[in-house]
Amino acid sequence: MCSILGVFDLRPGVDLSPLRPLALSLSARQRHRGPDWSGVHVDASAILVHERLAIVDPAGGAQPIRSAGGELVLAVNGEIYNHRDLERRLARPYAFQTGSDCEVVNALYRDGSDIGAWLAQLNGIFAFTLWDRAQRRVVIARDHMGICPLYWGHDADGRLWVASEMKALVRVCDDVAPFPPGHYYDSADSRCASGAPIRYYERAWRDYAAVAGVAADKTELREAFERAVHRQLMSDVPYGVLLSGGLDSSLVAACAARFARRRVEEDDQSEAWWPRLHSFAIGLEGSPDLKAAQVAADALGTVHHGFTYTFEEGLDALPEVIRHIETYDVTTIRASTPMYLLARRIKAMGVKMVLSGEGSDEIFGGYLYFHKAPNAVEFHEELVRKLDALHSYDCLRANKSMMAWGVEPRVPFLDVEFLDVAMRMDAAHKMAGARPDGSVRIEKAVLREAFEGYLPPEILWRQKEQFSDGVGYGWIDGLKAHAEGQVSDADFAAVEQRFPINPPQTKEAYFYRRLFEQVFPGDACARTVPGGKSIACSTPAAIAWDAAFETMADPSGRAVAGVHAATAG
């Protein structure tokens, strides 16, 4: 994974070459994402800059990637896991210039088929800009879930800018905004004339009627997830797994441990270059996650590294965390801070890629407020809503907090194939909460049942613990207490005048918003963060399920009364 920056101006007679120094300086603000090499392409109408984190083909694969004749220029942030299969199915031979998995994008574009059709074939995580010099045509696209970040906007002269992170555009684009997941923009398509991108990622399972009555095949579910983990082990550099000791990260680690000894890039025919699987966890001293992670690691036989941090170290990091993750969302900041500190430790050990467990809660209803869902229809509709918002929350957190130190996170639960398998079952099989017989079904039971025997029972059946809770309850409690001392009652009383866009609901939220505004000023930046209470247990659906959520400003999972059973930590 890397960073990209592009500038485009298709008007006749323009020359963008004088903007090269500016483009390079703005791209450098993202260099933490790609510290290994920088590449640039400049012509009269386009500038593409790439900061590379070398994961596949580190000796080659430099970007921007040019076709043999130089007519196509591609800058990609991401990985295409099924690139070899796509290469075998090309309509006509293509002269590949690198060993990069991403170069297949140029080949698919060159084949001339509908852009949306071949984008829908990609199984990977990506954000890219493709410049067709001959046709003076630009194509911009983002993966199905928005796992890779992407922003775009226009400068005062109307030129189109695109970048992996907002910090590269905030000073030049007054209209900076996230590029939507599952969409593409094609300057040659009349449907994009108004500046609106086109959706290519469509699924029937978004409508409950398409999944109603579909059985839960646990064998299919398990095998699809194993395939997802296997293909995402594609790497030519040392890698590991994030292991909090919760269900999701432990399942990722359990599956990765089964494949780690063989080299995925050679169809498992040779021994892996780094056959011992390393796992990583972080928390305050004595935190629930550190204890559970060690239990899981011992059972799986990983080389485990459990790190501790202090509250003061986390507090000191907050300004940098917010600068990197580009949000003022409370839950995201709480969880990003320990993840950011962990990424620095991982980087120091020479590891450049990790697998992580994001996405499972949105697919299976793992958040504790899902216990309150009244029926399968509303449960499913809330899953779809959570998936649609994921790029603003957990995907953003995992990507930006790890990439702050040049560590690439991959998320097998959001694999294209696995997502289809998991979402096409009737949500009735995923529902948690009280049963007519008086029993209580734990969240994500169908996933747990599919992996019986893979993990120790105390891990397989561990209750949902949000990451910001699991690192130690003192973390959130300390943040709230600190914010109380930093934001006066008078300041908070005038919150709607100070922050008319998405006014903070708590002093903690006010404190984060103030830090955000220092590096991301202006209304456009404020609007890149979804408004309202937004997270965990204060969604519109949750309020409809239980009126008590309406006054619940704290998004911690511990706040879900009657569901969360607090443990020591």
Which active-site residues does the annotation give?
A: 2
Is residue 92 predicted with pLDDT exceeding 80? Answer: yes
Torsion angle, CA of 349/456/411/476, rounded to 10 degrees?
Answer: -80
Q: State whether 223 and 141 are in the same domain.
A: no
Looking at the fold, whether 245 and 354 belong to one and the same domain comes out as yes
For residue 157, count CB atoms less than 10 angstroms from its CB and return exposed for 0-12, middle for 13-18, buried for 19 or more: exposed
Q: Please, are residues 412 and 225 in contact by the beta-carbon 8 Å criterion? A: yes
Residue 517, in any domain of the structure: no
What burial class does residue 68 get, using C-beta atoms within 10 Å of its C-beta: 0-12 exposed, 13-18 middle, 19+ buried? exposed
CATH of residue 26:
3.60.20.10
Mean pLDDT of 537-559: 67
Over residues 460-474, the pLDDT tens digits come to 998 876 555 668 789
Residue 277, marked binder: no
Condensed to tens digits (0 to 9), the pLDDT of residues 532-544 reads: 544 444 577 877 8
* Portion of the chain with pLDDT greater than 90, in percent: 82
**Same domain for 190 and 220?**
no
Residues ≥6 apart with Cβ < 8 Å to 271? 261, 262, 263
Decide if 87 is inside a domain.
yes
Residues 126, 414: contact at Cβ < 8 Å?
no
**Bridge partners of residue 439, in order along the sequence:** none
Q: What is the pLDDT of residue 557?
A: 52
Residue 537: predicted pLDDT? 47
Give the per-residue pLDDT at 568: 33
Query: Does 242 carry a binding-site annotation?
Result: yes
Residue of 421, 369, 390 lying closest to 180 (CA atoms):
390
Query: What pLDDT score does 264 carry?
Result: 74
Which CATH number goes with the domain that contains 333? 3.40.50.620
194 shares its domain with 268 = no
Quick one: 144 and 39 in the same domain?
Answer: yes
In this structure, the answer to whether residues 215 and 171 fall within a common structural domain is no
Report whether 39 belongs to an annotated binding site.
no
How does residue 566 score in pLDDT terms, banded at 50, 70 and 90?
very low
Among all chains, which residue has been given the structure tokens 């120094």? 21
- Whether 61 is covered by a domain: the verdict is yes
Domain assignment present for 521: no
User: 295-299, 432-436, 518-522 — which is least confidently predicted?
Assistant: 432-436
Residue 495 lies in a domain: no
Q: What pLDDT sits at residue 535?
A: 44
Does some domain include residue 316? yes
Residue that finishes a domain, picked among 154, 172, 199: 199
* Cα(259)–Cα(367) distance, integer angstroms: 29
- Whether residue 389 is contained in a domain is answered as yes
Give pTM, 2 decimals.
0.94
Query: Does residue 476 register a pLDDT over 50?
Result: yes
**Per-residue confidence (pLDDT) for residue 270, from 0 to 100:** 80
What integer pLDDT is reported at residue 536 of this predicted model? 45
Same domain, 131 and 228: no
Q: Which one has a higher pLDDT value, 308 or 261?
A: 308
Reply yes or no on whether the pLDDT at 304 is more than 80. yes
Does position 565 have pLDDT exceeding 50, yes or no? yes
Domain count, the chain: 2
pLDDT of residue 112: 79
282 annotated as belonging to a binding site for a ligand: yes
The residue with greater pLDDT, 540 or 235, is 235
Rounded Cα distance, 462 and 473, in Å = 17
Residue 484 lies in a domain: no
Q: Are residues 307 and 170 in the same domain?
A: no
Q: Are residues 251 and 181 in the same domain?
A: no
Tell me which of 199, 229, 247 is where a domain ends: 199
Model pLDDT, residue 275 = 75
Q: Of 155, 173, 199, which residue constitutes the final position of a domain?
A: 199
- The residue range of the domain holding 284 is 205-479+530-559
Pair (101, 120) in one structural domain: yes
Helix or strand run (H / E) with residue 469: helix 467-470
Q: 190 and 335 share a domain?
A: no
Q: Are residues 124 and 218 in the same domain?
A: no
Would you give the DSSP letter of residue 487? S
